[in-house]
Amino acid sequence: MEQGKYSVGLDIGTTKIVAIIGKENEYGKIEVLGIGKSKSLGVHRGVVNNITQTIKSIQQAVEEAEVNSGLKIGSVVVGIAGQHIRSLHHSDYITRADSEEVINEDDLDKLCNQVYKLVMLPGEEIIHVLPQEYKVDGQAEIKQPIGMYGGRLEANFHVVVGQVSSIKNVARCIKSAGLDLGNITLEPLASSEAVLSQEEKEAGVALIDIGGGTTDLAIFKDGIIRHTAVIPFGGGVITEDIKEGCSIIEKQAELLKMKFGSAWPGENKDNEIVSIPGLRGREPKEITLKNLSKIIHARVVEIIEQVYVEIKNYGHEEQKKKLIAGIVLTGGGSQLKHLKQLVEYITGMDTRIGYPNEHLAGDSDEAVASPLYATAVGLLMNAIRNEGKEQTAEEEEMEFAEEEAVLAGHEGETQTASKVRKERKSVFDKWSEKLKDFLDNAE
């Protein structure tokens, strides 16, 4: 298979690192060509805290994906999460020189670039600038202003901010593992791409991605991202609680949670007991499933309540901001028994478990359609889309350059063609370049 015909998503999580190789088939579905998974050893709550271990884990996952697919991995799209991520809302405007000319892509880029220049707290960097509604000469609630006349172009933006050092550490791991960094995407945005339908985004929906180290939230309404948050707790703290509460080792606690764990204590009878082998000749431990559920329930309630505070802060109670499609749960933590019922009970909102299978080709491996891989599949979709954009831009650019060369008497590419090249750069590409320069300089 030719290089460039496939793309790679890399999910650097707290419990696992997943590399997923795939391409788009003729029906627009994702065909997974290979998947590699390794235990994540150098990441704590979504943030890299051991570079060497993380590089090893990335290489392991990448090698496994390469063996499974028989392909070589070059460039990857990577996800970023962690407690350092925060989001804010910002309004900005530009005054156009000529209001008799229609608004074009250039004007939108100019407005977005202005937001990238916002002064952040020391050590912070803007990751995403996501336009919400636009205003043209005071006319509000415009979703797409291109082609309209107007002198003053305004917009409300959802700005996602992260720590420069954390972003640099992720990029350093990718580089040291012998890979190229194609793009960095916020993980809740990647997960939402994989498991949410356009109808849900229009109606209003909250996506809760429960990972090992963090719980990510993304709220959509009217098809637009409205709010994102990263809560620094996930499935890992539930395992930790079981370990402490039952005085057993982590491996056993994780197995107990997955096999017998339930978020609803009323489900288990008092006489349901599981026996766990003791360490080095010690007596086996007997643990009641009711007690296990109580430990899990207490922590899950705490996580869901924190998420619900974020949903209420967005203004879910108001009729105008009501999330009609309710909540979608995804990530490894969403597989916990009776979690859906507990979330519905706490929030009073309709809830379903989100599987990334809607975008996958029919013959895909069942394992990939698990909520566990939602972020990885979303990152792969992002990588495929970026690849497509780049190819289209390159083709258009070549055509334009050829036309210009003919007009200029075959003198090669003219200034107009190079101007078009500059215009082709999307805001995110500019940010990626800025980040790459920044990393190169840091070395």
What is the rounded CA–CA span in Å between residue 412 and residue 161?
Answer: 42
Residue 285, token pair as written in the block? 């431990």
Given this model, what pLDDT does residue 175 score? 94
Q: Scanning the structure block, which residue is given the tokens 């334009």?
A: 400
Burial class for 281, CB neighbours closer than 10 Å (0-12, 13-18, 19+) = exposed
Nearest to 264 by CA among 199, 209, 340: 340
Residue 409 region, left (φ>0) first, then alpha (ψ -120 to 50), else beta? Answer: left
Given this model, what pLDDT does residue 400 score? 58
What would the pLDDT profile of 48-96 be if each residue is shown by its tens digit? Answer: 999 999 999 999 999 999 999 999 998 899 998 888 888 899 999 999 9
Given this model, what pLDDT does residue 82 score? 83
Residues ≥6 apart with Cβ < 8 Å to 362: 29
Q: Scanning the structure block, which residue is given the tokens 């978020």?
A: 263
Residue 351, token pair as written in the block? 């809830």
Beta strands 351-353; 327-330: pairing state = parallel
Strands in 124-136's sheet, in edge-to-edge order, are 86-95, 152-163, 124-136, 139-142
Bridge partners of residue 218, in order along the sequence = 207, 228
What is the rounded CA–CA span in Å between residue 224 and residue 218?
Answer: 11
Q: Scanning the structure block, which residue is given the tokens 């407690």?
A: 83
Given this model, what pLDDT does residue 398 score? 64
Report pTM.
Answer: 0.83
Given this model, what pLDDT does residue 65 score? 93
Q: Around 345, how many Cα atoms within 13 Å sit in the side-chain half-sphere? A: 10
Q: Around 135, how many Cα atoms within 13 Å sit in the side-chain half-sphere? A: 14
What is the rounded CA–CA span in Å between residue 182 and residue 386?
Answer: 9
What is the rounded CA–CA span in Å between residue 337 and residue 302?
Answer: 17
Cα 83-195-61 angle, rounded to 5 deg: 65
23 and 384 in contact (C-beta within 8 Å)?
yes
What would the pLDDT profile of 402-418 be if each residue is shown by its tens digit? Answer: 655 555 554 444 444 44
Regions of the chain where pLDDT drops below 50: 1-4, 410-428
Bridge partners of residue 328, in order along the sequence = 207, 352
Q: Within the chain, what is the greatest distance between any pair of CA atoms? A: 89
Given this model, what pLDDT does residue 280 score? 81
368 and 360 in contact (C-beta within 8 Å)?
yes
Nearest to 387 by CA among 433, 436, 419, 429: 429
Phi, psi of 363 (to 5 degrees): -95, 15
End-to-end Cα spacing for the chain: 35
SS (H, E, C) 71-110: CCCCEEEEEECCCCCEEEEEEEEEECCCCCCECCHHHHHH
